[in-house]
Chain A
């Protein structure tokens, strides 16, 4: 798939001798597909970078995109593609910026057509295809890592551990509880117990839309693990439907305290720790 040494040389010659025309046409064609979402100057800069690294690589000998001396070209392509992926351009829009070079090359080569022009054009076209595919791969990789990052952030966001009272922490669970999240919740809760040395934890499941045997299993495991560490867990926020589901499924919470609301759970813990709460007498003069 690599260009031969002569082909590379001719490509370099072509790109340098028609440098201005190639670049301005390239920018024009690429801008068409981007529909003005990227500034001309920015696009111009990217095209110049690409042009420079292509010429540099082609002058070096046989141009092969996987080759060692094509590292700079690859880096420029990866850079462009990462930038586009982050800015929210589609994969097609990103790849078209590279494929635009084909049209430009055709225009330039048509002007001085020789006997080897067709063969050269096919070879160049293949190279541009490779470059386009490379861009596409980088684009997909960047997008995937973006998605993975976001998933992680979501996981972090959705599992806060809050301190309710001295020695009492609570985990308000919101959303579906799958194995991965349950694991994160468990680790976070246990670590907080150690860090704050709180002997009581309240797991509030008001925000959990459905409790099946698996979710119950996760919660039970968390409670048992906390007990092993010397802390007690109370489950609160059990909605009527969920209570019915739990009974229907035959889930046993054993001797784990369950409360209907977070307030009840907190009151329960405060009573256990010997904290008295009393309403203040209302003032007469008001």
Chain B
């Protein structure tokens, strides 16, 4: 079975999906990602789907689930690099991937996460929190 690699860049986990997603691969990715978020304490997850030609309702739901899981583990999920054709298909199918943030490319996705993280820090600025100090 193919596994989707998860890369850690600073405070962000980068998942670049390069293979066709089967049910098994998707479930494995969910598990792996949840483990990695806990293990690394990252606050951002970027899922790069530039290479995906087809995003069906199953992959759409998987992305939603991953976003929800990450949310629970206090990590922001951004889906990046969706192709125009894929976006059009999803709209035609009526899937709007609610609750998922999107960006044009990995770079913009990282900016988005950084911005979201900065907001959080501002709110926490008054309290001398160990987590804030570390990053």
- Contacts from A to B (Cβ < 8 Å): 186-187, 190-191, 193-194, 197-199, 221, 224-231
Contact = CB atoms under 8 A, between A and B. Distances in A.
Contacts of B105: 197
Contacts of A226: 87
A187 B78 CA distance: 23
Nearest to A186: B88
B102 A229 contact: yes
B104 A190 contact: no
Interface stretch (B7-15, B90-98, B124-132): B90-98
A229 B82 contact: yes
B104 A224 contact: no
Interface residues of B, number: 23
- Going nearest first, the 8 A-B pairs with the smallest beta carbon separation are A190-B84, A230-B102, A230-B103, A225-B87, A228-B87, A225-B91, A229-B82, A230-B104
A225 B108 contact: no
Contacts of B37: none
A197 to B, nearest CB: 5
A191 B90 CA distance: 16
* Most B C-beta atoms less than 10 A away, residue of A193, A225, A227, A230: A230
Given A186-B88, A190-B88, A221-B91, A228 B82 contact: yes
A225 B102 contact: no
Nearest to B96: A224
15 contacts: A186-B84, A186-B88, A187-B84, A187-B85, A190-B84, A190-B87, A193-B84, A194-B83, A197-B108, A221-B91, A225-B90, A228-B96, A230-B78, A230-B102, A231-B104
B80 interface: yes
Interface residues of A, dominant DSSP: helix
A191 B108 CA distance: 17
A46 to B, nearest CB: 48
A230 B87 CA distance: 10
A191 B97 CA distance: 20
Given A190-B88, A221-B91, A224-B91, A230 B97 contact: no
Contacts of B86: 228
A246 B11 CA distance: 46
B102 A228 contact: yes
A227 B102 contact: yes
Given A194-B104, A229-B102, 20 more contacts: A187-B84, A193-B84, A199-B104, A224-B91, A225-B87, A226-B87, A227-B96, A228-B86, A228-B90, A228-B91, A228-B96, A228-B97, A229-B82, A229-B83, A229-B87, A230-B78, A230-B79, A230-B80, A230-B104, A230-B108
Contacts of B96: 224, 227-228
Contacts of B88: 186-187, 190, 221, 225
Contacts of B104: 193-194, 197-199, 229-231
B67 to A, nearest CB: 13
A199 B82 contact: no
